[in-house]
Amino acid sequence: MRTQLILDVGGVIVTNFSTTYWVEINQLYKTPFNTIKELIKNEVREALWTGYMSEQEFWEWLNTHCKAAIEPNTARGLLRKHLELLPSVNYISEWSQSADIHLLSNHRHEWIFDLLEPIVNVNEKVDHCANQKVDHPGKMKTTAMWLIFS
């Protein structure tokens, strides 16, 4: 049986959101970034990451709570500007010679899939299972999973 290597995307393959992202969000929405982070954490984070709130609903919610009228594409572009591949991505092709690589993320697949395409292209075969409901005790959780074969 082939070795299975499971990697979390956030913080392992792709950067997490940096302070500079939140500073730019502050400038865009004219709301202190700590306020925005707390609002997201307390009111919508779980719904957003678990798929109960769509990405479009999230941008609408953010505009409402920050009393702004920012186009979702503008906010999405800012978000993507701050997500980058980490150095570990350079080893995936090598690792895939010895193991099946599974990339897991509870982040919105709309925000990270474009970044992961170079990994997919290197390995050519991918089983993309974004937005599959996975049963967890007491709740359903949406995760994105990519199984990469060598």
Distance from C-alpha of 60 to C-alpha of 64, rounded to nearest angstrom: 6
Angle formed by the axes of helices 72-81 and 55-65, nearest 10°: 100
HSE (CB half, 13 Å, CA atoms) of 102? Answer: 11
**Structural contact between residues 14 and 84, judged by C-beta atoms closer than 8 angstroms:** yes
pTM: 0.70
pLDDT at residue 141, as a whole number: 45
End-to-end CA distance of the chain: 15
Distance from C-alpha of 5 to C-alpha of 36, rounded to nearest angstrom: 35
Locate 124 and state its tokens. 């050519």
pLDDT at residue 147, as a whole number: 55
pLDDT at residue 133, as a whole number: 45
Locate 112 and state its tokens. 């990270």
pLDDT at residue 75, as a whole number: 84
pLDDT at residue 67, as a whole number: 82
- DSSP annotation string for 21-81: HHHHHHHHHTS-HHHHHHHIIIIIHHHHHHTSS-HHHHHHHHHHHTT----HHHHHHHHHH
Q: Which of 118, 117, 127 is nearest to 149 (CA)?
A: 127
Q: What is the CATH number of domain 3-15+84-149?
A: 3.30.110
Q: In a structure prediction context, what are the per-residue pLDDT tens digits for the chain, which is 150 residues long? A: 889 888 888 899 999 887 788 788 888 888 888 888 899 999 998 888 877 888 899 999 988 988 888 888 888 888 889 899 999 999 988 888 898 888 888 778 788 888 888 776 444 444 444 444 444 444 444 445 555 544
